[in-house]
Amino acid sequence: MEKLLAVINSWESADQVMARTQYLANKMHTGFAVFRPVHGQLSEMEKYIGFDDFERLRDQIMTEERRLLAEFCLGKTDDFHTEWCERVHVAVAGAAEQQGSGLVVMAASGKGVLSSLIHRADDWHLLREVPCPVVMLPETLVAPDKVVVALDCLDEDDTHQQLAERVLDSASAFAKAFAVPLTAITVMPDPALIYANLVSVPFDMDFQQRARKSAEENLQQLIARTGVSVDHIKVEVGRIEDIVSKAAEGGILVIGSAANRGLKGLLLGNTAERVLQHVQTEMLVVN
């Protein structure tokens, strides 16, 4: 794998981001770089304090951030840098692309600037734009006891099938890295939830059984194509964010991002983004 990129989006979560990055780099036999985006919240102040004062204050902040980062990375890596940025997700995506990163590791604890951006529907660009998988760490990091991979086995479009294969491969790599069992789960939508207002329309069991059988067959075929060893296979019915969040408790959830963009992305969002709002565990998003 290409080297990893540890993103320090808040100093409160820096230690756990570094610890997880070092662990994964060691298990995946690769190196890593560290990136500290400094959100330019002072930009609005420029009109009040004057350009010269703003420049001086920004330089002082960046000098201190570089000092802190150098001290933090001492003895761990010499590959680190900071960047003053107006939009954090753009800076992270640019750093990942410039570094040729194979994986980004960062916190999603709700304490950092980037986390607040991700949880705003109009700023969910990070998971869509970063050119590699992203590991989102929870506020409290624990040793995972399993890896759960959520797969869409009902969409037979070539693009979605290729994404599903990448997701499964990534999940397998994480299960091996942590030496834990791998569970593959696919979630079928419940017609009763989708069409809840049509209470008088019966959804016969035969329909649900056929759909479940189709999902199971597609999941088995996907696993067979990739040659990945899976310990448990599950097909569930309901809301994906509810089901996978519960299934992944105490482990790592791996999910694909279809990267909806433009108006569709704003209105409908993305499955990975909906799940991100619910899960309390570590999450790997593969695009």
Q: What is the average pLDDT across 45-60?
A: 71
Q: Same CATH topology for 1-138 and 142-287?
A: yes
Domain boundaries, the chain: 1-138, 142-287
Element (H, E) at 222: helix 205-226
At 1-26, the pLDDT tens digits run: 789 999 998 899 999 999 999 999 99
Strand (E) or helix (H) holding 253: strand 252-256
Q: Fold for 1-138, please state it.
A: Rossmann fold (3.40.50)
3-state helix vs strand vs coil in the chain, percent to 5: 50, 20, 30
Range of weakest confidence among 115-124, 136-145, 173-182 = 115-124
Calpha distance 285→68 (Å, rounded): 29
pTM reported for the whole predicted model = 0.83
Distance CA 4, CA 103 (A): 5
**pLDDT reading at 229 higher than 80:** yes
* Mean pLDDT on 229-254: 89
- CATH topology classification for 142-287: Rossmann fold (3.40.50)
Q: Which amino acid does the sequence have at 124? A: W
d(CA 74, CA 248): 35
Query: What's the whole-number mean pLDDT along residues 182-188?
Result: 90
pLDDT of 239: 81
Residues sharing a CB contact under 8 Å with residue 24, sequence separation 6 or more, in sequence order:
4, 103, 105, 135, 177
